[in-house]
Every structure is written in C-alpha cells, then in structure tokens.
A and B are shown apart, each in its own frame.
Chain A
C-alpha cells in the first residue's frame, strides 16, 4: 500500500486518463519558492509532482537540472529546509508529492529508516532514489511500506528482461522507466515507447511513468500513448530558471503539457494495461 500515489493512479486508470508528472528542483529558483511552484503545478492539472532534492553531484542529470541544483544550493537550499517547505504547503494540496533524492543525501540524513520517516513526516507520498540499485533497495522498500510511501526504482533501456521483473517487484506506487540511456536533458524528435513500456507491462501491473528527454507537448502525447505518465523535467526547470515569473511560467507550460496528454490519451491503450487495474 503506498497511499496517495496508488489512489491517484487508480483514479486516473478508472477515468481512462494519463498523467503529466512535472519535475521541479526543490528550492529553485530560490529557497522559499517551493510552495508557490507546487500550488501552480496543482492548478495546471498535474496529479503528481516530482521534487528533486538539490545535490552537489547529481550524476544522472544534464546541465539544466544540475545547474538548477547548484544555483539553489548556492542560494542556501538544503534538504531539511526543502522538507520544511514541503510540510508547510502539504495541507493545502491534494496532489501527490514524490521526492527524487540521491542515495548520498538519504544515507546522510538517517539512512533508509531515518530518511523515509523524515520524508513521510513532512508529507511526501513517495521516493525516487535514482542511484539506489535493486541490490541495495531492501531497507528502503521495507521503510516505504511501513510508512505507506511509494518507492520507484529505475528501469533502463540497458536493463535485461529478468532484472526488469525483479526491479518492478521491488517498486511500490509506480515504476520509473528511463525513456533513453543517458542523462536528463531536453531532446527533439519522436518518442516511441511502445517497446520499452511493453517490456515493463509484461512483468507488472504497476503504473509506468516515463522520463528523461521528454520535453514538449507533442512528446508528452507520444509518451502517454503507452506510459501511464510522462515526466517532464529539464524543459520545465529551464523555464523556471529563465522566467521573471517562475510560478506563472510553470503553470502555463505544464497546462500545455496536461492538455497534450489529456483527451487523446483517454482513448489510448489504457485497456492494454489489462483488466486488472484498480488497486486503490
């Protein structure tokens, strides 16, 4: 049971809808900004938001997100401060809030049990730990189950079949599918996830969220033809970095993504996910 995230995906599925999951860097463009940005993303229609915990050495991130993290850190961002900002706004929001946090930070802030408690106490609904391998995920899985948080491990294009099954079995809430090898960053061109999503669908009933390199409304529409959710990071973070009105800009951009994922997606292959979809 991973609480709110399961519930959100179950509602989406019963409504035949697909989701946009925006990624923002916590405390970016500056400490204090997180609440306002999250409110804007809820207004824009995102059911779940992924919040990156700023880290000095994010090896999975390209220049846009790594740059945002570094500038947030320079402005005084820190994980405890971010968690406080999330706790302060949690009560006003009904969207799911999932933290993307490096194992380096989780380890330092109490390890699996300590960090999961901290995250849950601050109102987070789930965790993505991008550099936590399956083999080391046991403690986090137990702690997340104990606190009703989702836990998403990554599936990569390079992941062999049998391992996809094991990874999916260690996820709660949703599986995070890397839409491409390589790091985060905006990409042009078509996104065809039929094969990659199919590989994961074959071994799990969990919803599948795809991210990395999905940056435009058109790409979102293509991604949610197969995935349950499209994660958009760099394209949004860049707009937040460049804008004088970060929350307004984030709301406008995410709304355009939500529209792209919207009605068309409802006729999409939700049915192909199989008859068993309600797991609230």
Chain B
C-alpha cells in the first residue's frame, strides 16, 4: 500500500475517528475539502478516485514506484544529525535545554526537492490510466521541473502552466523544463502567479480529461488530489519513522515543516498524526501581517473555497482571492490543503509564520553551520525549528523536513539579502 495508515477503510469503525482516517468518501477532512468544481470535472475526478483506490493496493504498481523512487529519484533520503546547528541553538541555554536537531534530506532528491515523490507517483498512475498527456501548474518551477522530469523518464507529453511573472522570476527552471521536452505556457491572466497557473491548468483539464491527467503539485484542489498527493508524499514520513527508530531509538518529539500548499508537511506529518509527536507547520509571514504582505492563510486567513476545496484562504470580505507575498515563490499561494485546516482546528498541528527576513537569516545559518544551502521555502521551517528546539529538553529530538535545496534561489535570495544587509559579496 502507498501509505501506512488506511484512508477509507477505518471510517465509521469507532465513535471518534482517528485523525489519520480522513478524508471521508466525499473527500471531507472534517468540514474541509470536498469537490467544488464545474460538473465537467466530476466524472474525471471520480474516475481518478476509483482508479487510485485500486492502484494503491496493487503490489506491481507500488513496486514499480518504489523502484523509480530508489533508482531514479535517490530514495531513501538520509536523516542526518545536524550537530553544529544543534550546538548553535544550545549555546547559552544551560545543560538541560535545547533538543537535538535532525534533517530529513529531501533536498537530496533528484531535481532538488520533495516534489519528485508526487510527480513520479502521479505520472506513473497517468500511464496506467492510459493517459498520454500530462499537465501541471507550477509556481517556483520545482513541481513543474519534477513533472517534466517524470514525463521524460516515463515517455509522456508534458505541458506546464506557469504565471508569466513567475516565468520571469524563475527563468532557470523554465529552461530546465524546456530542455526536458516540456511545453511551458506562461499565464498572463490575473496576478500572473501560481493561483492563475492553477486556474489555467484546471481550464485545460475541463476540455482534455479524456486524454490528459492533471498532476496537481500539492495537497490542494478537489478530492481526491489532497489525499493522493499526501499519500505519495507520505514516503517522507514513513522513512523518517524507520530512520528515527534506528538512529534515535524511538520516534522524534517534534517535527517541523514549511507549508505552502502543504505537501512536504503533510508527507512528513501524516504517518505520525496518531503518535505522540508535536507537529509544527510554518507559513510564509512575508513582510508583515497586513493583507497582501504575506502568504499565511492558516495563521491569518479564514475558511473559504478556492481551487475546488474548502480550506483556509486569504480572501477579501467579498470572496475575491487576495494578493499574497513571500520571498519564496513556492510558498506564494493564497490557499492551503484542506487536511491542514482540519489539523489546525483539531489542534493536532501548530501553525506559525516566519517572515522573509527570518527565513533569509535561517538560510544563512544553516548554510554556515551545516554546509547545506536550502531552499527559501525550507528556510521558513529552519527558522521556526531553531526556536522550538531551544524550548525543548536536551534529550529530546526534533526533525526538520528539509524540503529542497537552494540552487534555484541563489540569485533572488542573495539580492534580497544584500538589500536587507544580511549578505556582502
């Protein structure tokens, strides 16, 4: 099976369903999630749901995917003790404080981020469904690159929608996708960023679902996407669990991950939601908590419908999607996966936000203490983790989901760091 915990099987068995048992048959995580799309997409979504439910239990598929993850994507990724970062946090705290910090190294995946886990899973599924064409949306370009890569590996046609503004900001990733044979379509509508790229991919799919699979890049969108993407990303948490048992002699005390749409966080959290582990999600606090200055729907938004599901969103009082800002293009999204909304309301995961400046500082601290240049998205988690670890006991362990590497960010990040006085050439 793709994920360790059941999804549908256990629903309704006990009086209080376990947190891991969501979503229900209608794709609801508590009151969140669901399927809010034009009728045209209902049939393809149902087809996908049914197909996936079979595939999940198909040993041949699971073996093939595990083989791709291993030999092509480089899994399992290491769980590494960050000794110098740990010491940096412990400095001045006294003998008893400051947890050990461990890094789940998704940055070592092929193409440089966790996104490849889901892209390979969905592209392999597309092939099994007999679809020859794949479409995807992308913001920073990491999911687009992962999908273009998976399509090249599996022999599928690939079209990636990307906001025109993001194409400019992430030109390197546009070139990478094109070199792998993908068609990149710059989206000129709306704010010309990730949400508009998502709109455009959904529009394409409304007319093309017979031949085309839509590879959504995070745990967002209508059911069954939040469940499918979570399950494919759960390999992060499954590996982390096994590795912690070996290296720490037990499960970690805390896990920290950044949250854009929420896929790396859901992937590492999900296998632990019914365990005694504190879970922390970190959103993009941007420049301030004023509207338009951040991308933190869980911390600063409210429930609403965007891109086919009900979740926390950044929306005006009129129901229009609000502008968002983050220094990291991968977190620059006004919505978040419905399962995170569910976990937030249930009190299972604590969500906070790190500002642009805090993320940039953490990026440099990790680079200098550990020799790891992480993605700007990831740096939000690193910042929060340093604070959380400082509040924990010395014998405790904290794991950071190191979702991606920073190669894509060096130009933009160094420019912003110079402006902020954090970095000199």
A-side residues, CB < 8 A to B, are: 55-63, 66-67, 70, 73, 78-80, 102-109, 130-136, 153-160, 163, 167, 178, 180-183
Contact = CB atoms under 8 A, between A and B. Distances in A.
B26 interface: yes
Interface string B16-39: 000000000010000000111111
Contacts, number: 124
A55 B319 contact: yes
29 contacts: A57-B195, A57-B199, A59-B202, A59-B203, A59-B307, A66-B189, A78-B320, A79-B318, A102-B319, A103-B305, A104-B321, A105-B320, A107-B304, A107-B310, A108-B317, A108-B318, A131-B38, A131-B308, A135-B34, A136-B34, A156-B39, A157-B40, A158-B39, A158-B42, A158-B43, A159-B43, A160-B43, A182-B40, A183-B203
Interface in B297-355: 304-308, 310, 315, 317-321
Nearest to B305: A104
Contacts of B39: 133-134, 153-156, 158-159, 167, 178
By Cβ-Cβ distance, the 4 closest A-B pairs, closest first, are A182-B207, A108-B319, A105-B319, A158-B43
A80 B317 CA distance: 10
Contacts of A78: 318, 320
A278 to B, nearest CB: 29
A102 B320 CA distance: 10
B44 interface: yes
A107 B304 CA distance: 7
Contact of A60 (B26, B38, B321): B38
B190 interface: yes
A62 B38 CA distance: 13
Given A78-B318, A79-B318, A108-B318, A156 B202 contact: no
Given A56-B321, A57-B190, A103-B305, A108 B315 contact: yes
Given A133-B37, A154-B38, A180-B207, 20 more contacts: A55-B320, A57-B195, A57-B306, A58-B199, A59-B37, A60-B40, A103-B305, A104-B321, A108-B315, A108-B317, A108-B318, A109-B319, A136-B36, A155-B39, A156-B38, A156-B43, A158-B209, A167-B39, A181-B206, A183-B207
B214 to A, nearest CB: 12
B207 A56 contact: no
A181 B318 contact: no
B43 A104 contact: no
B36 A178 contact: no
B37 A131 contact: yes
A266 B209 CA distance: 37
B185 to A, nearest CB: 13
A130 to B, nearest CB: 5
B194 to A, nearest CB: 12
A245 to B, nearest CB: 27
A233 B320 CA distance: 22
Interface in B280-310: 304-308, 310
Given A57-B306, A181-B206, A158 B189 contact: no
A113 B209 CA distance: 34
Contacts of A159: 39, 42-43
A61 B37 CA distance: 12
Contacts of B36: 103-104, 131-133, 136
Interface string B365-376: 000000000000
Nearest to A177: B39
A181 B208 CA distance: 8
A254 B36 CA distance: 32
Contacts of B207: 180-183
Contacts of B38: 59-60, 130-131, 154, 156, 178
A130 B43 CA distance: 15
A59 B199 contact: yes
Contacts of B37: 59, 131, 133
B43 A109 contact: no
Contacts of A57: 190, 195-196, 199, 306-307, 321
Contacts of B315: 104, 108
Contacts of A73: 320
Contacts of A132: 36
Among A56, A106, A107, which residue has the most Cβ atoms of chain B within 10 A? A56
B83 to A, nearest CB: 46
Contact of B305 (A107, A167, A182): A107
A158 B205 CA distance: 13
Contacts of A136: 34-36
Interface in B223-240: none
Nearest to A54: B320
A135 B35 contact: yes
B161 to A, nearest CB: 12
A79 B319 contact: yes
Nearest to A184: B203
